[in-house]
């Protein structure tokens, strides 16, 4: 099953045109709580869920835009934003 991603500017394209930017992280460590351990955990520790997760992608072979989508990691299919009404794919 091939990966297709919907760029908010260019539309639906082959996944090979994109660069994966990682999982959407909840928030960066606060400056007053900043330690090398906290930063390492923030950068390298991922949830890697089997199911829907929010991810960052860059359309590297297209418009160059960075955007977030929701993708089901078990099927490689884009899914609607679970926080919206579900009538369209999140771009």
- Residues near Zn ion (CB under 5 A): 7, 9-10, 59, 62-63
What is the smallest separation between the CB atom of 64 and Zn ion, expressed in angstroms? 7
Q: CA 21 to CA 9: how far, in whole Å?
A: 18
- Residue placing its CB nearer to Zn ion in the complex, 16 or 34: 16
DSSP code for 40: H
What is the smallest separation between the CB atom of 74 and Zn ion, expressed in angstroms? 26
Do 67 and 91 meet the contact criterion of CB atoms below 8 Å apart?
Answer: yes
- Residue placing its CB nearer to Zn ion in the complex, 4 or 29: 4
CB-side neighbour CA atoms (13 Å) of 60: 9
- Residue placing its CB nearer to Zn ion in the complex, 29 or 62: 62
């Amino acid at each position: 099953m091939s990966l297709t991603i919907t760029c908010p500017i260019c539309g639906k394209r082959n996944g090979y045109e994109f660069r994966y930017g990682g999982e959407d992280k909840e928030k960066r460590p606060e400056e007053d709580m900043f330690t090398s351990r906290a930063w390492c955990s923030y950068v390298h520790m991922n949830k890697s869920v089997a199911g829907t997760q929010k991810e960052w992608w860059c359309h590297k072979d297209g418009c160059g835009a960075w955007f977030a989508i929701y993708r089901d990691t078990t099927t490689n299919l884009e899914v609607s934003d679970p926080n919206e009404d579900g009538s369209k794919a999140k771009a």
